[in-house]
Amino acid sequence: EAGVAQSPRYKIIEKRQSVAFWCNPISGHATLYWYQQILGQGPKLLIQFQNNGVVDDSQLPKDRFSAERLKGVDSTLKIQPAKLEDSAVYLCASSLSGTLYNEQFFGPGTRLTVL
Amino acid sequence: AQTVTQSQPEMSVQEAETVTLSCTYDTSESDYYLFWYKQPPSRQMILVIRQEAYKQQNATENRFSVNFQKAAKSFSLKISDSQLGDAAMYFCAYRRETSGSRLTFGEGTQLTVNP
């Protein structure tokens, strides 16, 4: 079974530029999560999708961050314009709804550096 | 709001020895799940072990076991017969019992295994 795929693995941009990250969840997983992990901290949920609908985006900085999940499969997270404090690893995870544990499977993440 | 606290930023252990990582959490819920995740330098978050709050029996997965103290809101991870491959960042995480709810992570403990 293929895991959660993310691209790119690394991205370096200057502040005020825009950037986009892509995530392809495990086939059949209805729930998709985007986490932000700042160096030295645990991951923090940015947004959660159930199929192509948003379940939780309470911690998403909506003035600069946006995300979409077209057709309930792939997802894109965008930052525009980027700030220095956005430097972090962005993790995508997916889970199979309706199971006892709803275990989340994580992708390898995208490391973003904002200069 | 739920919070997860890991008070040990770094721990070290000799190969083949036993080490215990601490975690405390705060919640007003009675039903929830607790997890330990491992994050090696590759950044891939890997589930190590999970515990359902309604179960009194502590979870065990091979060399990994937990000490779950619900009244004290404590959830420690014991690694027996430590191996070099166990070296990683370990995160304690909490999730409400509600299907598909978010994971709340602690700050992490960096484990070093000395040969």
Task: Match 């690394």 to its residue by tokens.
Answer: A10
Determine contact, residues A48/A31, Cβ cutoff 8 Å.
yes
| Chain A interface, Cβ < 8 Å to B | 31, 33, 40-45, 48, 50, 55-56, 89, 91, 93, 95, 97-98, 101-104, 106-109, 111
Q: In this predicted structure, what is the pLDDT of residue B102?
A: 83
Query: Does A41 contact B108 at a Cβ distance shorter than 8 Å?
Result: yes
Condensed to tens digits (0 to 9), the pLDDT of residues B17-55 reads 999 999 999 999 888 999 999 999 888 899 999 999 998
pLDDT in tens, chain A (115 residues): 689 999 999 999 999 999 999 999 999 999 999 999 999 899 999 999 988 899 889 999 999 999 999 888 999 999 999 999 999 999 999 998 756 677 889 999 999 999 9
| Chain B interface, Cβ < 8 Å to A | 4, 33, 42-47, 50, 91, 93, 95, 99-100, 102-103, 105-108
Segment B51-59 long-range contacts (CB within 8 Å, at least 24 positions apart): B51/B75, B53/B29, B53/B97
Query: Does A91 contact B43 at a Cβ distance shorter than 8 Å?
Result: yes
Q: Using CA atoms, how far apart are residues B76 and A105, in angstroms rounded to an integer?
A: 22
Q: Which residues of A touch B108 (CB under 8 A)?
A: 40-42
